[in-house]
Amino acid sequence: MGRSSRRRTNSRGRSARNTAYRGKSPAEARAEHLTWFFLVLIFAVLQLFNQNNIAIQPWLVPLSGAIVLIGSGIYQYSRHWRVSPVTWLAGGLLFFLTLININFLQERSFLGESLIIFAGVILIGLLTGET
């Protein structure tokens, strides 16, 4: 009977039971996981288009990845959450690849590079707990 019925709280006043992955709030962890989901969704949609022989513009994959990453970064930043530099760098790199593809190398596909960047963002996010 010596136990207290009060919950323990962490330094931010949140209940210890309500904290998510590596000290993040559940909403913050959910936003990061949604970012990963949308990057994987780009792979899935690309595969569906390839199976149905639907041609897509080569700049569409890096642009969609840039939109997902930069959009996620802006959303997280607007909520005053920490945004990993990897998110900003990868989004910027994908946007740069899009501009190169549209303006200079129209026939070149940066699909492989884009997929490597996507996988790198997800892998770094899994290892560090931040995206």
Contact 21, 29 (CB under 8 A): yes
pLDDT of 16: 44
pLDDT of 17: 45
* Distant-in-sequence, close-in-space partners of 77: CB < 8 Å, separation ≥ 6: 83
Give the residue from 130, 59, 124, 45 showing the smallest Cα distance to 94.
Answer: 59
For the chain, the domains span 27-128
CA dihedral 77, 96, 110, 126 (to 10 degrees): -30
Under the banding of pLDDT at 50, 70 and 90, the label for residue 19 is very low
pLDDT of 54: 80
Widest distance between CA atoms in the chain? 74
Q: What residues pair up with 5 in beta bridges, in sequence order?
A: none
What rounded mean pLDDT belongs to the chain?
Answer: 82
Helical H runs in 7-84? 26-51, 60-78
Query: Is pLDDT of 78 > 90?
Result: yes
**Over the stretch 24-75, which tens digit does the pLDDT of each residue have?**
888 888 888 899 899 899 888 888 887 888 888 888 889 999 999 999 999 9
Alpha-carbon 63 to chain mean position? 14
- Mean pLDDT to the nearest integer, 1-14: 50
Q: Phi and psi (nearest 5°) for 105?
A: -120, 70
